[in-house]
Amino acid sequence: MRAMHLPPGDQKLVQIVDAALADAGRRSGSWLVCRPGCTQCCIGVFAITQLDAARLQHGLVELEEHDPQRAASVRARAQDAVVRLSPEFPGDRTTGILSEDEAAEHRFEDFANDEPCPALDPATGTCDLYASRPLTCRAFGPPVRSEVGLGVCELCFHGASDEEIAACEMEVDPDDLESKLLEEMESQGNFSGRTIVAFALAE
């Protein structure tokens, strides 16, 4: 498997996001119930950046070196998912790039909401590529602000007030380092646009 170029700055981005998660986790305390084996955030297709895709690919290459059987299982799950998802995929089925027009984005909202992530080990309920997971996965659980407001995992923060939830907000990438790294990748000839985990890992 040939992985896309991964900018050296990605390690810094991962450190920033993981530190933000640890800080939000401390502030959240028992309201944050994330634990190994909970797969709430592993079910349902979501969009990832080309930076996320490259990180996943590098993680799979590393897994192949240390545990080729587990890596083969990840790739097989990804390939099976691509076969299942391709007929209704709202984008380019060859490249795996999602279309960005309004109709396609509307279709994506209801696309494959019950599909498990290919990196999810169905036997253990844990992620086989955890160290290489996308930013969305790293930021799932604590309160994170988006254009629609402050969102949290539906399993977390039961009994917390709006003020208490807001006090635990996670600022994922305050300096927008991700955008700079994506520009660097695109300048070196990588794909632009978003994709999904299955297409990133199926090659």
pLDDT digits (tens, 9 = 90+) for 159-180: 999 999 999 999 999 999 999 9
CA torsion sign for 113, 114, 117, 120 is positive
The pLDDT, as a whole number, for residue 5 is: 83
What does the chain come to in residues? 203
127 - beta bridge partners? 120
- As a whole number, mean pLDDT of residues 177-188 equals 93
pLDDT above 70: residue 10: yes
Query: 106-121: per-residue pLDDT in tens?
Result: 999 999 999 999 999 9
Q: Which helix (H) or strand (E) holds 163?
A: helix 162-166
- As a whole number, mean pLDDT of residues 11-18 equals 97
CA 16 – CA 131 distance, rounded (Å) = 14
Tokens coding 105: 């984005």
The pLDDT, as a whole number, for residue 1 is: 47
**Residue type at 61 in one-letter notation:** V
The pLDDT, as a whole number, for residue 42 is: 95
- As a whole number, mean pLDDT of residues 127-145 equals 95
Domain ranges in the chain?
Answer: 10-201
pLDDT above 70: residue 56: yes
**Whether 44 contacts 112, CB under 8 Å:** yes
CA torsion sign for 176, 179, 42, 63 is negative
Q: Where on the phi/psi map is residue 81: left (φ > 0), alpha (ψ -120 to 50), or beta?
A: alpha
Query: 66-124: per-residue pLDDT in tens?
Result: 999 999 999 999 999 999 999 999 999 999 999 999 999 999 999 999 999 999 999 99
**Whether 63 contacts 128, CB under 8 Å:** yes
What pTM did the predictor assign? 0.93
Predicted confidence band of residue 147 (pLDDT cuts 50, 70, 90)? confident
